[in-house]
């Protein structure tokens, strides 16, 4: 999701509702212990509105000096080491995300923009088990593993903001990244295991993000049966008049035979003016 203020959230169940007044949106949640690590997760995140795609990861352990991640082919894809005062202080949670190239040539804005199609992305980031390793302060080695799948939930559709209410509908495709017809072909070619419409949603993640430079946001995760949420009056009354904002709704993948899947597909809508008075958010 190309929104520039992302964090990896803690584990959340499908029936929980979490409110956050602050910076950041989520890229899914590490949901199971990872052998010697407290948590680990790798996932695919797609911004269906901008048509970009990224690889995200989270590794969490105690008193680490280094962590490493290898793909299913045994190739090192990530390594993080602590030096100087950070080595004295130690690492615990570490997370990150790849760059997010657009999925199609038609979405490029500059001549040198990188394009990585969904098929190319799946070839680059192989589905399967990613091995996590690390070294703790006493020299002991930690090991764990987590799986990457291509069970991608369909992008939320018809995202709207009106009078403090954000609403949406379950989608049928991946927005700018892939139409329904393209997805049918990707399934037929074996790039995707199933059509995104057949991937259950565990939770919806909804974010109302202020675009006034404050980096503040309202965030909530909701169960799959709920398709609207009212932004809290406490948050809205804390916002200055004529504050520009955007709303984002993410579908977080549900529970499948292959295990808990946290891939995420987001849809966003902009040009929201909060607490509008006079000429509203029109630029002078």
Which pLDDT tens digit goes with each residue over 216-266? 999 999 999 999 999 999 999 999 999 999 999 999 997 655 445 689 999
pLDDT in tens, 110-123: 888 899 999 999 99
pLDDT value at residue 261: 64
More reliable by pLDDT, 90 or 158: 158
Domain ranges in the chain are: 6-274
In DSSP terms, 146 is beta-bridged to 130
Report the pLDDT averaged over residues 17-29: 36
At 173-216, the pLDDT tens digits run 999 999 999 999 999 999 999 999 999 999 999 999 999 999 89
Q: Decide: helix, strand or coil at residue 10.
A: coil
- Report which of 213, 206, 187, 189 is spatially closest to residue 198, judged by C-alpha positions: 187
210 three-class SS: strand
* Distance between CA atoms of residues 14 and 223, nearest Å: 5
Decide: 122 and 150 in contact? Cβ < 8 Å: yes
User: Please, where are the H alpha helices in the chain?
Assistant: 84-89, 118-124, 180-188, 233-237
Q: Looking at the structure, give the CATH architecture of the domain made up of residues 6-274.
A: Sandwich (2.60)
């Amino acid at each position: 999701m190309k929104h520039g203020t992302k964090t990896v959230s803690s584990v959340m169940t499908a029936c929980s509702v979490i409110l956050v007044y602050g910076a950041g949106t989520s890229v899914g949640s590490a949901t199971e212990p990872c052998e010697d690590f407290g948590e680990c997760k790798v996932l695919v995140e797609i911004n269906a509105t901008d048509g970009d795609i990224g690889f995200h990861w989270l590794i969490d352990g105690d008193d680490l000096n280094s962590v490493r991640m290898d793909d299913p082919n045994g190739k090192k894809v990530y390594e993080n080491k602590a030096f100087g005062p950070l080595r004295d202080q130690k690492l615990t949670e570490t997370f990150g995300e790849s760059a997010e190239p657009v999925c199609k040539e038609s979405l490029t804005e500059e001549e040198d923009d990188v394009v990585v199609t969904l098929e190319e992305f799946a070839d680059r980031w192989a589905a399967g088990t990613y091995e996590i390793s690390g070294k703790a302060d006493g020299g002991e080695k930690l090991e764990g593993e987590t799986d990457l799948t291509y069970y991608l939930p369909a992008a939320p559709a018809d995202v709207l903001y009106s009078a403090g209410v954000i609403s949406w509908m379950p989608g049928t495709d991946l927005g700018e990244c892939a139409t329904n017809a393209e997805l049918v072909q990707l399934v037929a070619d074996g790039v995707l295991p199933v059509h995104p419409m057949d991937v259950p949603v565990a939770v919806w993640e909804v974010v109302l993000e202020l675009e006034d430079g404050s980096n503040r946001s309202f965030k909530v995760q909701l169960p799959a049966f709920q398709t609207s949420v009212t932004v809290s009056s406490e948050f809205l009354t804390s916002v200055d008049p004529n504050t520009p904002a955007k709303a984002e709704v993410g579908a977080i993948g549900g529970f499948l035979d292959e295990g808990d899947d946290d891939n995420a597909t987001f849809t966003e809508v902009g040009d929201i003016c909060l607490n509008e008075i006079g000429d509203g958010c029109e630029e002078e």
